[in-house]
Structure 1
Amino acid sequence: MVKLHIKKAEESLFLYETTVQILIDDMMKDVAAIYNGRLKVERLCWEVESLSKHGITLPPNMQGLTDDQITDLKLKDEWEDKCIPSGGAVFKKDDIGRRNGHAPNDQMAEVLTKTIAEAKAKISNKNVASNMCVTQATVQDALDILRGAVTIVYPMGLPPHDPIRAEFENEEDLSGSQASLDVIEEPQAVLWWAGKELQRGKKLMDFIGKNEKNKNSCKNTKARGRSTCS
């Protein structure tokens, strides 16, 4: 099996294993799904960490307001009493006013923290040094364990406006965010090897040869949705 070392600039991302017989179209779909899936796992890990520290996300019309402003505007979070973490909540105020401050207790927070570490390890760029490849199944496994941990801590679920729920339901809105700039949609993707474009409709072997023992370094760039391989 041939391996591609996917990079972004000089940063290692993951190893991708395939065969020289694969169609470029299929390879690009797979690589894009893994690449974007890793970004999704990273976003979720950040949000779940925030959840463990400060509880569920406030409704959009309450975020960033002071307690006095919320009182003056007579606003109420209707999800506060519906989404209580297992074992009860511990108040830990969110200074930026994004989450409601009713955090899980230490035991439940530890469940989330350990799962975050496990999910990150599955898609970590450190796996490159260990010669471990990442697949769509790897990404899905990371997503599944994050979902499982959140369900354990919040068995009643999360409010519809919580970004964690949106990510799990594939309804995340990244518009206007830095995260949206990192995503590379598959139709925009172009792969290059040794200065040559890996053209759709052809096979990988048409470019790198029939040797299945090849290992190629690939630089993934955002510019015009292109990836450069060498």
Structure 2
Amino acid sequence: MVRLVIKKGDEAQFLYETTVETPVDEVIADVCAIYNGRLKVHRLCAEIEDLAAHGITLPPNMQGLTDEQVVELKLKDEWAEKCTPQGGVRLNEDKIGRRNGQAPTEKMAEVLTKTCKEAQDMVSKKKVQANELVTQKTLQEALDILRGAVTIVYPMGLPPHENIKMEFENNEDLTGTQASTEVIEEPNAALWFSAKEMLRGKLLKDSVGKNEKTKVIVKLQKKGQGCPSREPVVSEQEQKQMMAYYYKKQEDFKKLEKDAEDAHLDSEWADNQSLKRNFHGLKDIKWGPR
């Protein structure tokens, strides 16, 4: 099995495993699904952490309004009573006016935050360094534990306008958001290896060779963006080691130079007490045994 280090820009995203006989189209589809799935997990975790802190999302027509404006417009959040967290409510106002401020208790909030941490660790970029794979099964497991945690804390469910609910149902609308620029749809995706685009309709071995026991760096990006930047000759870690080595050599050289400059101080001619000892007849005195 060949392993691909999938990069976006200069950052390694995840480790992907397949065979060199796999069609490039299939690899692109799978890589895009994993890449976009990781983005979904991180979006969900951000929303769930807000849910733990400030409760459910207000209806769109109430978001950003002050209490006075809500009263004046005679608006009411009908979902606040239907979607109450298990164990009671902890009041914590959302200063940006997006959530209703009826947060779950600290114990229930901890269930949500701990699960978010666990899910993020499952799809973390650090798994590349640990040589661990991220697959679609991994993503599904992460989504399942997040869904389970939300169900435990909100057994009555979430309102239909809640982003968390829409993410779980794959009905999220990312139009006009920063997140929409990060998503790469499979038809618009391209994989690059060794400054060459992997051509659809070909097999993986046509790009990376026939050796199954290899590990290569592949870059993912949108079509039409041209060739991605080349990999540096040395890695960041190797660069740090080289800098540390040459810094040590430089310090050693400075010390040798200083020692060479001070070496004459041990010479007889550099002794500023030599003339005084000559006048007193104290030069070249040899002390014998008593």
TM-score normalised over the length of structure 1: 0.96
Distance 1:222 1:108 in 2: 41
Letter in 2 for 1:211: N
Task: Decide which moves more: 217-226 or 115-124.
Answer: 217-226
RMSD: 1.5
1:66 is matched with 66
Gap change, CA 1:225 and 1:35, over 3 Å in 2 = farther
Letter in 1 for 2:42: E
- The reply to whether residue 104 of structure 1 matches residue 101 of structure 2 is no
1:119 is matched with 119
> How do residues 20-169 of structure 1 correspond to structure 2 at under 5 angstroms?
20-169=20-169
Displacement of 1:209: 1.3
Letter in 2 for 1:16: Y
* Partner SS for 2:17: strand
C-alpha contact 1:220 1:226 (8 A) present in aligned 2: no
Displacement of 1:213: 1.4
Structure 1, unpaired ranges of 5+: none
Displacement of 1:224: 3.3
Gap change, CA 1:104 and 1:42, over 3 Å in 2 = same
Distance 2:189 2:226 in 1: 5
Gap change, CA 1:224 and 1:89, over 3 Å in 2 = farther
Distance 2:18 2:227 in 1: 17
Q: 1:101-156, CA deviations, whole angstroms, 9 ceiling, x for partnerless residues? A: 00000110010011000000000000011000100111111111000000000001
Q: 1:61-101, CA deviations, whole angstroms, 9 ceiling, x for partnerless residues? A: 00000011101111000000000000011100000000000
Letter in 1 for 2:200: R
- Percent of residue pairs bearing the same amino acid type: 62
TM-score normalised over the length of structure 2: 0.77
Letter in 2 for 1:43: R
Structure 2, unpaired ranges of 5+: 232-290
* Partner SS for 1:128: helix
1:10 is matched with 10
2:193 is matched with 193
Letter in 2 for 1:160: P
* Partner SS for 1:191: strand
Distance 2:137 2:48 in 1: 21
Structure whose alpha-carbon radius of gyration is higher: 2
Displacement of 1:208: 1.4
* Partner SS for 2:108: helix
Distance 1:220 1:207 in 2: 14
Letter in 1 for 2:15: L
Distance 1:204 1:227 in 2: 18
C-alpha contact 1:91 1:101 (8 A) present in aligned 2: yes
C-alpha contact 1:189 1:227 (8 A) present in aligned 2: no
Letter in 2 for 1:199: L
Gap change, CA 1:44 and 1:30, over 3 Å in 2 = same
